[in-house]
């Protein structure tokens, strides 16, 4: 079937929600302070505009934070990489500016917990850039599927290629005229994003769930609804 033109008002996470989802799932980041760059392999604990990190006790960043009065001015860089192998896998880059403070010694005595009070942030994607204030972050929350996205996408790509083929029936046939490789690229509570990859470029298309998914179990129901729509030629919102 042929769908109507893409829905410009199709729901998707806000810029603040995207930023917090990225932070909530990151396992590493770069901290820039005092003209130096520090790469940390650490999960990030997100509390609105306040972040908590872990750093080794003997790390230069720890020493710099201990010497700083009123907090150390820092810039954090976090990159969002698609979990499924595609060309141009970087989905977003998040830059946050704020002040870093020593919080407390880690329980194992080998590191310290650091607190970052974010003043402002910028989220850059291939489709645009959005500026965020501390208030924007404080009022938002990570997407409920963010921590499960990588596992869900890789499982879908590896174990259900037949279902992926069925979902392409929801797309405008013109998008498939050049026989692109179709891969699951992103997902959130509002829908699934497919990457259509051509030899000379790509296009990302969002398939919108009939209603937002509240958790992973609900996500299964929403995917079933999309597949049913594809099987029976029912109209579905997309962008």
Q: State mean pLDDT over 83-112.
A: 90
Q: State mean pLDDT over 225-237.
A: 83
pLDDT in tens, 204-222: 999 999 999 999 999 999 9
Instruction: Indicate the pLDDT class of residue 5, thresholds 50, 70 and 90.
Output: very low
What is the C-alpha separation between 103 and 74, in angstroms, rounded?
A: 15
Instruction: Indicate the pLDDT class of residue 239, thresholds 50, 70 and 90.
Output: low
Phi-psi region of 90 (alpha: psi -120 to 50; beta: other; left: phi over 0): beta
- What is the CATH T-level fold of the domain 146-232, as seen in this structure? Split barrel-like (3.20.180)
pLDDT computed for residue 52 by the predictor: 94
Among positive and negative, which fits the CA dihedral 181, 7, 225, 187?
positive
Which position has the token pair 């972040």? 51
Q: Taking 60 as the threshold, does the pLDDT of residue 103 lie above it?
A: yes
Instruction: Indicate the pLDDT class of residue 236, thresholds 50, 70 and 90.
Output: low
Tell me which of 107 and 70 has the higher pLDDT: 70
Q: Taking 80 as the threshold, does the pLDDT of residue 2 lie above it?
A: no
The two structure tokens encoding residue 215: 């958790």
* Residue partners of 206: CB distance under 8 A and separation at least 6: 10, 12, 190, 191, 192, 193, 238, 239
What is the C-alpha separation between 8 and 29, in angstroms, rounded?
A: 33
The two structure tokens encoding residue 236: 């579905």
- What is the CATH T-level fold of the domain 15-138, as seen in this structure? Pnp Oxidase; Chain A (2.30.110)
Mean model confidence pLDDT for the chain = 91
Tell me which of 238 and 19 has the higher pLDDT: 19
Instruction: Indicate the pLDDT class of residue 9, thresholds 50, 70 and 90.
Output: low
Domain ranges of the chain: 15-138, 146-232
pLDDT computed for residue 7 by the predictor: 53
pLDDT in tens, 126-153: 999 999 999 999 999 999 999 999 999 9
Distance of CA 18 to CAs 12, 63, 143, 219, 220, Å? 9, 32, 7, 18, 21
Instruction: Indicate the pLDDT class of residue 224, thresholds 50, 70 and 90.
Output: very high
pLDDT in tens, 191-202: 999 999 988 889
Same fold, 15-138 and 146-232: no
pLDDT computed for residue 1 by the predictor: 25
């Amino acid at each position: 079937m042929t769908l109507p033109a893409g829905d410009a008002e199709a729901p998707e996470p806000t810029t603040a929600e995207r930023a917090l989802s990225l932070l909530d799932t990151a396992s590493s980041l770069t901290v820039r302070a005092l003209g130096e760059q520090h790469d940390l392999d650490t999960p990030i604990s997100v509390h609105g505009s306040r972040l908590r990190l872990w750093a080794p006790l003997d790390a230069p960043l720890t020493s710099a934070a201990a010497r700083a009065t009123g907090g150390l001015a820092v810039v954090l860089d976090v990159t969002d990489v698609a979990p499924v192998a595609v060309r141009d896998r970087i989905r977003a880059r998040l830059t946050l500016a704020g002040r870093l403070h020593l919080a407390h010694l880690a329980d194992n005595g080998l590191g310290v917990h650091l607190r970052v009070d974010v003043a402002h942030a910028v989220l850059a994607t291939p489709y645009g850039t959005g500026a965020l204030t501390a208030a924007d972050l404080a009022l938002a929350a990570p997407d409920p599927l963010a921590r499960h996205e990588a596992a869900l996408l890789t499982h879908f790509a590896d174990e259900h290629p037949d279902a992926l083929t069925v979902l392409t029936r929801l797309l405008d046939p013109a998008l498939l005229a050049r026989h692109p490789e179709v891969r699951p690229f992103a997902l959130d509570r509002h829908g699934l994003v497919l990457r259509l990859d051509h030899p000379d470029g790509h296009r990302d298309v969002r398939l919108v769930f009939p209603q937002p998914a509240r958790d992973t179990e609900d996500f299964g129901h929403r995917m079933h609804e999309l597949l049913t729509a594809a099987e029976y030629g029912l109209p579905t919102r997309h962008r």
